[in-house]
Amino acid sequence: MPAELIDGAAVAKKVRAEVGERCKALAARGVVPGLTVVLVGDDGGSAVYVRNKEKASHEVGMNGATIRMPATTTQTELLAVVDRLNADKAVHGILVQMPLPKQIDPQAVIRRIAAAKDVDGFHPVNVGKVLIGERDGFAPCTPAGVQVLLQEYGVETAGKHVVIIGRSNIVGKPMAALLVQPGPGGDATVTICHSKTPDLAWHTKRADIVIAAVGRPGTVTGEMLKPGAVVIDVGTTRIVDPSAKSGMRLMGDVDFASVSQVASKVTPVPGGVGPMTIAMLLRNTVRAAEQAS
């Protein structure tokens, strides 16, 4: 029986509606959540993503702004902008879009953003809070969105074995930190696999839930799973496809055709995890405004 599709767009719509109601409650108290995105350079993909964030923030009743800076921007100039936003009480969330030009150290920028406004969840303070289970910090948006998807689709994590493929600071590590916490959406036994893991299939065949986040198309196939596993595909890689109108298409880390015949539930690409990332960014921003007011 083909796997049930996990509809990230539908869940993201639900999250956005909840954020909109919280924005209304804040507006009644004279507070409008403010999200400012800083875009350095002219990367086309980043520009589209930033426009989508600004549009989404306006749709839920936030003040969404974008500061565009040239690719020649120095680290000193960017840090000065971050300092200004840190001091601006109308700005509750700050996001500096990655990647940055090579002359700028991304860690220096991340550490400069006030932890209370770090709605991307990358500041060391927020990383630490997620790891120890503090609830007032901000989790990175993609893994937080994955956790919400699992909960919305009734996927039990308590006592289950989760295999995460990928150890990035953006997805893999924080995903593991969220899933091992006690409480709803947690209490899982987590294995993190990566490029140095021998015999990846040995691990995935023993998993109740597989989360693929390596950016390598087709990494997970149906024969690597045990029947009934839940598969979350975080990967998004553009590949050449002459049959597509643009000549390109998005592909995840999962071989969807084979996996969907073995798994009980699976996220599609696109339309799975992707929509949740912006939705969780909005949720983090409205919570930052609530905590600041």
Please report which helix (H) or strand (E) contains residue 209, including its range.
Answer: strand 209-212
Q: Give CA–CA dist 2/31, Å, rounded.
A: 47
Q: Which domains occur in the chain, in start order?
A: 30-114 (3.40.50.10860), 141-274 (3.40.50.720)
pLDDT higher than threshold 90 for residue 116: yes
Percent with pLDDT over 90 in the chain = 90
Give me the helices (H) in the chain, please: 8-27, 44-59, 75-87, 106-112, 124-132, 141-152, 172-180, 200-204, 256-259, 274-292
Catalytic residue list: 53, 97, 120
- What confidence tier does 246 reach under pLDDT thresholds 50, 70, 90? confident
Structure tokens that stand for 177 in this block: 């930190």
Q: What is the pLDDT of residues 131-154, one digit of tens each?
A: 999 999 999 999 999 999 999 999
Strands 265-266 and 93-96: unpaired
Distance between CA atoms of residues 192 and 143, nearest Å: 14
Q: What's the whole-number mean pLDDT along residues 42-64?
A: 88
Whole-Å CA distances, 269 to 36, 69, 220, 241: 28, 31, 14, 15
Three-state DSSP at 161 gives: strand
How big is the chain by its Cα radius of gyration, in Å? 19
Average pLDDT for 51-59: 93
Predicted confidence (pLDDT) at residue 45 exceeds the cutoff of 80: no
User: How far apart are the C-alpha atoms of 123 and 125, rounded to whole Å?
Assistant: 5
Q: 232 - beta bridge partners? A: 211
Q: Give the span between the Cα atoms of 269 and 184, in whole angstroms.
A: 26
Return d(Cα 216, Cα 143) in angstroms, integer.
18
> Would the pLDDT of 239 be above 90?
no
pLDDT exceeds 80 at position 43: no
Of 230, 246, 228, 248, nearest in space to 238 by CA: 248
